[in-house]
Amino acid sequence: MATIENVSQTTISSLAFLQEGTVAFTGGTSTFNNSTANYFIESKNIEIDGDLTISRGNANIFRSSVADSSLKISEAAKVNIQTTTTAIESTANRLE
């Protein structure tokens, strides 16, 4: 499991690639701007419990290529995702 809390980054390509793992935003405020990779986070499970802001160009944000993947956002979390005007999938999960 990769745990992320109170991170502010202005240029980052990809944050995590854990195909069979979990990425957890455990609290605090995390902000990511101007990331350029095709996928920002690729992980089987993503859990968001804090405040998360992602502002980036035309690319996918969350992706999973394995079965039984999940994206869990707690009731207290605040998620703000901004992309360019081109239509994209902000989440791409494999569902079986």
Mean pLDDT calculated for residue range 63-91: 78
**Lowest-pLDDT range of 55-59, 65-69, 82-86, 87-91:** 87-91
Q: Between 12 and 55, whose confidence is greater?
A: 55
The answer to whether the CB of 41 falls within 8 A of the CB of 9 is no
Q: What is the number of other CB atoms lying within 10 angstroms of the CB of residue 78?
A: 12
Q: What pLDDT, on a 0 to 100 scale, did the predictor assign at position 61?
A: 79
Residue matched to tokens 């360019």: 84
Mean pLDDT calculated for residue range 30-58: 80
Q: What pLDDT, on a 0 to 100 scale, did the predictor assign at position 84?
A: 67
Question: Of 48, 40, 49, whose CA–CA distance to 83 is shortest?
Answer: 40
Rounded to two decimals, what is the model's pTM? 0.75
Averaging pLDDT over each range in 23-27, 33-37, 55-59, 87-91, which range is the top one?
23-27
Q: How far apart are CA 49 and CA 68, in angstroms?
A: 20
Domain boundaries, the chain: 2-87
